[in-house]
Amino acid sequence: MPSLRRMPGRAVLAVFQSFGFEVESRKGSHVKLRRVGPNGERQTLTIPNHAELDTGTLRAIIRQAARYVATDELDRHFYR
């Protein structure tokens, strides 16, 4: 199994923005991303904008994002 990359919050935000998510709001160090899906549903993710995300936090974000983005596309960005 490939290992999960260690990434800063800023890099994770850039990955999801490449998938069409836009910054909806910021509160403290957390950034809310949102996009409208093909059926008109609102897709929302919250990303902590920390210097380095904990691997458990990053896994949870990937698991939530897998509802909206294909897993193989996510793996390409987050796993070695």
pTM equals 0.92
| Number of domains forming the structure of the chain | 1
Look at residue 2 in the predicted model and tell me its pLDDT: 84
Look at residue 16 in the predicted model and tell me its pLDDT: 98
Q: Does 4 fall in a domain? A: no
> Helix/strand/coil (H, E, C) string of the chain?
CCCECCCCHHHHHHHHHHCCCEEEEEECCEEEEEEECCCCCEEEEEEECCCCCCHHHHHHHHHHHCCCCCHHHHHHHHEC
Q: Does 53 fall in a domain? A: yes
Instruction: Residue 46: give the domain boundaries.
Output: 9-78
| pLDDT tens figures, 20-62 | 999 999 999 999 999 999 899 999 999 999 999 999 999 999 9
In which region does residue 2 sit, left (phi positive, over 0), alpha (psi from -120 to 50) or beta (all else)? beta
Q: Does 13 fall in a domain? A: yes
Q: Does 2 fall in a domain? A: no
Q: Does 1 fall in a domain? A: no
